[in-house]
A and B are shown apart, each in its own frame.
Chain A
């Protein structure tokens, strides 16, 4: 029997799910510790019907994307500037490296003092978290562009603009994608922490509410939803990567 490659990756999760259901059914795992998958599914149906889930996912998704866009754009801009200009790097890199060594989640108390539990607080934290992986990988990508290709471009009469779009940016793109994927991971992590600690909506808030009422099934459900959203973001990045890096032998598996 030949199992399609796309399905192989799902064998272990499905097996774990079945085992979990079994152990919960026979009472080995008490329901208030970890409810059975079926109980979680019922909870899913309940919050779906009340509209609570969709609204919270929408809020969380919005925060994640806006925060990612802001942090990613600023990180990308600094990465480009510092990769292309020695002056810009000399001016800003030391400062950025110092800021990078402050764990951004350590800023939560300060951010709450500044913004309370408003949207700005979450957006700032997500943007700050996403900024560094994108900045560092964009910079490294531009630095790693083959100088021989740059010399070729110059001898073939490319001006600065051509050189950037045809040689430097495509050469830096694989590294930039590494940054994007790191950034997506940090984006969800930051959002989970921020929403759990200081929020009045979103999936993290939903989890904290459920904890107050001892609704373990909803808590488990929110964790699974975070996992799914993370997987979704990663898959999107991968598809984008495959499309734009089709030239790369690493993405040309037959």
Chain B
């Protein structure tokens, strides 16, 4: 019984010399136009209710998310935004209502990025990324794909490192590579940058934006940071008491410019609504 585990751990820790590609490509540059706009999975949510023991956390949500859209869900803590995401990902079962995935074709279609990196400490960085591929293909092919995905998130050459030697931001990049390596059609992100420091956070936001623009999967981001939501999403949903309180499109051009008046006014609109009747949005 032990022998297999040892073999598993050994495979993960093997360190063959490896040639890095000499021509360094800019990760996730939009190159294949035909690919764009065809990858996403649509979602159709009808009368969704979820109650744990007590009042419903999600209290009747109807929502259409077209394929390829980038949606940000904001709200105060405890408003049910994470529960909504977990329902969408099938980690919770709805009390009533339905969630229909449009255009799903494989088990690897939807991927989840958690608030914590959740890397396996006993597998190498490449081994962790390969988790995203499951049993598809040969071990060698999986490793190749994992190394490529790592290069895409700016971690080339780190495939054989243990997760414990990486910084918080690097670990979250590995988690991103693990989610993206199977080329998902839906990516759910549950406050993935919440635990990072401000600088790492900004560079990670840039990375997430480039990845989404290159691959055009459907993206659902839960965040408590309104400016992050505006920087990364086409559409912002504000959840309050388990219901959608605000549903607006973000009409800004990519890549988002944070300093512009349009950005600021949109941010104010959302924040005002967020604090409506609570502390007075104008005072903030």
List residues of chain A with CB under 8 Å of any chain B CB.
76, 148-149, 151-153, 155-158, 162, 165-167, 169-171, 173, 243-249, 252
- With both chains docked as a complex, state the minimum distance between the C-beta of B186 and any C-beta of chain A, in angstroms: 12
A245–B6 CA distance with the chains assembled, in angstroms? 10
Could you list which residues of chain B lie within 8 angstroms of chain A, going by C-beta atoms? 1, 4-6, 8-9, 12-13, 89, 91, 107-108, 111-112, 114, 116, 118, 120-123, 131-132, 134-135, 162-165, 178
Q: Shortest distance in angstroms between B218's beta carbon and chain A's nearest beta carbon?
A: 16
- Set of chain B residues within 8 Å of A252, measured between Cβ atoms: 162, 164-165
Residues of B within 8 A of A243 (CB): 6
Q: Known A169-B5, A170-B5; judge A155-B123 contact (CB<8 A).
A: no
Beyond known contacts A156-B111, A162-B134: 7 more, CB 8 A cutoff: A148-B116, A148-B118, A149-B120, A166-B131, A170-B123, A171-B122, A245-B122
In-complex Cβ contact of A247 among B9, B112, B132 (8 A): B9
Separation in Å of the B274 CB from the closest CB of chain A? 29
Q: Is the CB of B5 within 8 A of A152?
A: no
Is B122 within 8 A of A156, CB to CB? no
Tell me what chain A mostly uses at the interface: helix, strand, loop, or mixed. helix
A170 and B122: CB pair below 8 A?
yes
Task: List residues of chain A with CB within 8 A of the CB of B89.
Answer: 155
In the complex the two chains form, what is the Cα distance from A155 to B118 in whole Å? 12
If A148-B114, A148-B118, A157-B134 touch, whether A244 touches B162 (CB-CB below 8 Å) is no
Query: Number of A-B pairs whose CB atoms are under 8 Å?
Result: 69
B120 contacts A167, C-beta separation under 8 Å: yes
Provide the residues of chain A in CB contact with B1, threshold 8 Å: 76
Q: Which residue of the partner chain, among A156, A171, A247, A248, contacts B134 with CB atoms under 8 Å?
A: A156
| A149 and B118 contacting across the interface, CB-CB below 8 Å | yes
Residues of chain B lying within 8 A (CB to CB) of residue A152: 114, 118
A244 with B116: CB separation less than 8 A: no
Interface contact A247-B114, CB-CB below 8 Å: no
- C-alpha gap A162/B127 in the complex (Å): 13
Give the 6 A-B residue pairs with the shortest CB-CB distance, closest first. A170-B122, A152-B118, A247-B122, A249-B164, A155-B112, A157-B107
Question: Is B107 within 8 A of A248, CB to CB?
Answer: no
Complex Cα spacing A228 to B86, Å: 56
Could you say which of A156, A171, A246 has the most chain B C-beta atoms within 10 Å of its C-beta? A156
Q: Is the CB of B131 within 8 A of A247?
A: no
**Given A152-B118, A247-B122, A247-B162, CB of A170 within 8 Å of CB of B9:** yes
- Whole-angstrom CA separation of A149 from B91 in the bound complex: 14
Cβ A166 vs Cβ B134 within 8 A: no
Q: For A245, what are the chain B residues with a Cβ–Cβ distance below 8 Å?
A: 122
- Inside 8 A of A149's CB, which chain B residues have their CB? 118, 120
Contact partner of A244 among B9, B111, B134, CB < 8 A?
B9
